[in-house]
Structures are given as structure tokens and as C-alpha cells.
């Protein structure tokens, strides 16, 4: 197994390299966000179907989710920086197919194939990037590092929608994809620079041994199985991603039911600034006494404002409630990630993050599959009808296009808040506060 550490174990050097990696991830995140925003609107306009938009999101997420454990094994065994470089460059191949499909006005299936190929190679980057934090930084810096990673990821939600919304008024979506491809190469160059001065040590347990995915998977699964709290935490995160997946698909048609593309981009950007605010708040906390409490409060707060997003067809209110919802999201991600990081050995973290990512993010896939069908065939027709129940609900949230989507958002928001209440009462998750990866049995 390859364990990569900064030369001379110098913290300052490691922190500088980590900040460069964050810069690269931010650049890549902006490009990816522009492509996702542009293609989602392109497909929604082309087909007029929320269900088809959900299928696009599944193609964008599912391959990287299913292959995350493989990426995790490779990240634990080989140079994590090379995994990130290859992932970035090969992802650009899939995006090139998408760009050509849009330019040639080819069948939608080619866009889905291209985004699927790009997603496959994304599986190489995510576990490697997360595991690199442990390579470069001491344990007391994990929460700050997780906050900075959240800031980098939030760039695709903050900068990308507004820029993409404005650009789509004057250029085709293929231009956005081309910009995204260029960001992959820029990020790869930054990773190459960071890799300089970092050495690899081959641990005795994998030196001169062949790669055996079955055995490697078993080690990762055992590391998770030895901690009941980690298993419960994965279930919690799967439910939360299921809830968050609904708003990811439904927010665009909800807003476009009464606003333009530019207004959608502006609202999306304003809302996403909440994630910046929440990430900064966590980064600058002097001491976090309980990561379980951080996770619980994050879920409750996120659920309450998630619920409120659907109550009124008002741009200002949606922007404000959405901002607050996103402000609580970093607490959810950081709380869960630090609890796992503290309880799993560094040499297994790539595998564990790969498995946890695969399992938890399947919640997104289920939500993507269900949200479009529920919207198109049940909730939207129901809120456009004249039944007594629909009329009663309509007096509160309104009746007509987009209000069925709003009702779905309200229901899921309540579920997310209830999940946050349950989390704080789970003893096995509480026990992770006291845990250390040195206790893990492997």
C-alpha cells in the first residue's frame, strides 16, 4: 500500500499543498457546475420532462457512485495524486462526447453516454482527494480541512449558475462544456505541482503483492463493520442524500415555473452562498465539542428551511429560505466526515470513503428516479386539479404549475428535520465521538 506524506512531515508544507489542492478542486468544481446547470436546462427545454432530467442526473451520478469502492481501493494502494490527475484528464473525454453531441444536435442518448463516461472517471478522484487530507494534515485540522473542501465544492453552486445563466443568453451549452474541459486540464497541472516533493512509502502488507479487489474490499467492509456507529452513520447519510436529491432535481422546474433562466441562475447563486456562510462558520469555530450535535443540528436546520422553500411562490422568500437551508448543509457533511475519519485508519480511508460514498449517495439515485415520476404523474396533476384536498392545500401553497413540486418539497423537508432529531439519540453514533482510528480492528 502506498502512503503519501509530506517531506519531513512538515505541517506548514502540507497545509500549503492542501490549499493548492483546494484551489484546483475549486476550479474544477466551477467548470462542472456550469456543465451540469447548462445541460439540465438544455434537456428540460428539449424534452419538457422532469423525469428525463432525472435520468440525466442518474447518468451523471450513478457510475461514479458504483465505482467509488474501486477508486477507494486504488487510492489506498497507489499514489493518490496520480489517481486524481488521471481522473481529471479522463473525465474530459466523456465531456468531449457531450460537447460534440450538442454541437451536432445528436440524439439525447449520446449526451447521457458522455456524461456517464465522465462520471466513471470521477470515481478515481473523490476517494483519493478525501484520503489526501489525512496524508497532509494532523487530526486537529480535519474539521477545518472539511470546511475548506465544502467551500471548494460549493463553487459549482455559487459561481457556476449565475455565470452559466448569463452565458446561455449569448452562447450554446457546448461552450460551457468546453470551458469545463479546460478546467480539468488546469486542475491536473495544479495537482502535478502539488505532487512535487511528496514521496511514497510502500507498507509491508502490500509490498510486492498483486492487486486483489476482493481482498481489498473485504478489508474496507470489515473496517466499517467493526464500528456499529459508522454503519448507522452511513444509513443516516443515505437517508439525508435521498431527501436532498429531491430538491436537486425539483428546484429548477419549481423556479422556472414562474421565473426565467437568468433569474434561476441568480436565485441558485444566492441560495448557494448559504453553503459558503455555513462552511466558513465551521472553519472558524475554535472548538467543536460534539460532531454528533453538529450533524444533528445541521439536519434539523436544513430540513426546516427545506420545508419553507415550498410554501410560497416568491423569489425573495425562496432565495432566503434556500440560503438558510444551504447554510446548514456543511454541518451535516463535516460532522459525518470527521466522525468517520477519526475512527478509520489512514491506510483504509480511501476504501472506507469509497464504500460510504457509494452507499450513501445511492440515496441521490433513488431520489432522482422517483422525483421526476412523482412530479410528472402524481403531485403536479394533483395540485392542478379541483379536489377538496387540493383546494385546501392550495389556499396555503397555491394551485397550478409547480405547486405539486412545492408540496413534495414540503413533505421531504419535514422528513429531513425528523432525521436530525433521531440522530442525536443514537448511542452507537454518540460513541464515535470517543473513538480513534487506532482502536479499529483490521
Instruction: State residue 375 phi and psi, 5-degree precision.
Output: -70, -50
Q: CA-CA distance, 217 to 145, in Å (whole number)?
A: 27
Q: Assign 210 a pLDDT band (cuts: 50, 70, 90).
A: low
- Sign of the alpha-carbon dihedral angle for 253, 259, 260, 261: negative
Would you say 124 and 87 are in contact if contact means Cβ atoms under 8 Å apart? yes
Domain ranges of the chain: 10-196+220-439
Query: If you compute the radius of gyration of the chain from its CA atoms, what whole number of angstroms results?
Result: 22
69-78, 222-231, 246-255, 425-434: lowest mean pLDDT where? Answer: 69-78
pLDDT at 203: 45
**Nearest Cα residue to 157 out of 307, 279, 336:** 279
Residue 321, pLDDT above cutoff 80: yes
Assess contact for 157 and 265: CB atoms under 8 A. Answer: no
19, 363 contact by CB (below 8 A): no
Of the chain, the percentage scoring pLDDT greater than 90 comes to 30
Question: What pLDDT band is residue 209 in, cutting at 50, 70 and 90?
Answer: low
Q: pLDDT value at position 197?
A: 54
pTM over 0.85: no
- Fold (CATH) for 10-196+220-439: Growth Hormone; Chain: A; (1.20.1250)
The CA distance from 340 to 440, in Å, is 11
Residue with cell 488546469: 186
Is the per-residue pLDDT at 181 higher than 90?
A: yes
Q: Name the residue among 15, 294, 30 with its Cα closest to residue 148.
A: 15
| Interval 83-112: pLDDT, tens | 888 888 889 999 999 999 999 988 889 999
Model confidence at 5: pLDDT above 50: no
Amino acid at each position: 500500500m502506498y502512503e503519501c506524506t509530506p517531506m519531513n512531515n512538515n505541517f506548514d508544507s502540507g497545509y500549503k499543498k492542501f490549499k493548492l489542492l483546494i484551489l484546483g478542486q475549486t476550479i474544477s468544481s466551477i467548470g462542472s457546475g456550469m456543465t451540469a446547470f447548462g445541460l439540465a436546462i438544455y434537456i428540460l427545454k428539449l424534452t419538457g420532462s422532469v423525469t428525463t432530467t432525472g435520468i440525466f442526473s442518474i447518468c451523471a451520478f450513478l457510475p461514479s457512485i458504483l465505482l467509488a469502492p474501486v477508486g477507494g481501493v486504488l487510492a489506498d494502494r497507489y499514489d493518490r495524486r496520480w489517481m486524481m490527475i488521471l481522473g481529471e484528464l479522463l473525465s474530459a473525454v466523456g465531456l468531449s462526447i457531450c460537447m460534440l453531441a450538442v454541437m451536432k444536435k445528436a440524439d439525447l442518448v449520446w449526451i447521457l453516454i458522455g456524461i456517464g463516461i465522465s462520471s466513471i472517471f470521477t470515481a478515481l478522484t473523490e476517494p483519493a482527494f478525501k484520503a489526501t487530507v489525512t496524508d497532509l494534515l494532523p487530526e486537529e485540522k480535519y474539521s477545518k480541512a472539511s470546511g475548506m473542501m465544502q467551500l471548494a465544492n460549493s463553487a459549482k453552486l455559487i459561481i457556476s449558475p449565475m455565470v452559466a445563466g448569463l452565458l446561455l443568453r449569448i452562447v450554446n451549452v457546448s461552450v460551457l462544456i468546453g470551458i469545463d474541459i479546460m478546467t480539468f486540464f488546469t486542475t491536473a497541472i495544479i495537482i502535478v505541482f502539488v505532487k512535487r516533493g511528496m514521496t511514497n512509502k510502500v507498507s509491508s502488507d502490500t509490498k510486492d503483492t498483486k492487486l486483489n479487489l476482493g481482498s481489498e474490499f473485504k478489508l474496507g467492509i470489515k473496517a466499517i463493520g467493526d464500528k456499529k456507529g459508522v454503519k448507522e452513520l452511513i444509513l443516516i447519510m443515505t437517508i439525508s442524500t435521498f431527501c436532498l436529491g429531491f430538491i436537486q432535481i425539483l428546484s429548477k422546474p419549481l423556479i422556472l415555473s414562474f421565473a426565467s433562466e437568468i433569474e434561476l441562475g441568480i436565485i441558485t447563486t444566492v441560495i448557494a452562498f448559504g453553503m459558503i456562510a455555513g462552511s466558513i462558520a465551521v472553519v472558524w469555530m475554535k472548538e467543536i465539542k460534539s460532531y454528533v450535535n453538529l450533524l444533528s443540528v445541521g439536519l434539523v436546520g436544513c430540513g426546516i428551511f427545506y420545508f419553507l422553500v415550498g410554501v410560497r411562490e416568491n423569489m425573495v422568500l425562496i432565495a432566503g429560505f434556500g440560503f438558510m437551508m444551504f447554510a446548514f448543509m456543511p454541518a451535516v457533511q463535516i460532522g459525518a466526515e470527521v466522525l468517520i475519519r477519526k475512527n478509520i485508519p489512514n491506510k483504509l480511508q480511501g476504501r472506507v470513503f469509497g464504500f460510504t460514498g457509494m452507499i450513501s449517495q445511492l440515496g441521490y439515485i433513488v431520489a432522482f428516479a422517483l422525483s421526476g415520476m412523482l412530479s410528472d404523474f402524481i403531485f403536479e396533476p394533483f395540485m392542478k386539479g379541483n379536489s377538496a384536498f387540493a383546494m385546501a392545500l392550495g389556499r396555503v401553497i397555491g394551485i397550478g404549475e409547480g405547486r405539486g413540486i412545492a408540496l413534495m418539497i414540503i413533505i421531504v423537508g419535514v422528513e429531513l428535520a425528523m432525521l436530525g432529531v433521531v440522530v442525536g439519540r443514537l448511542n452507537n453514533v454518540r460513541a464515535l465521538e470517543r473513538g480513534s482510528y487506532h482502536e479499529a480492528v483490521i
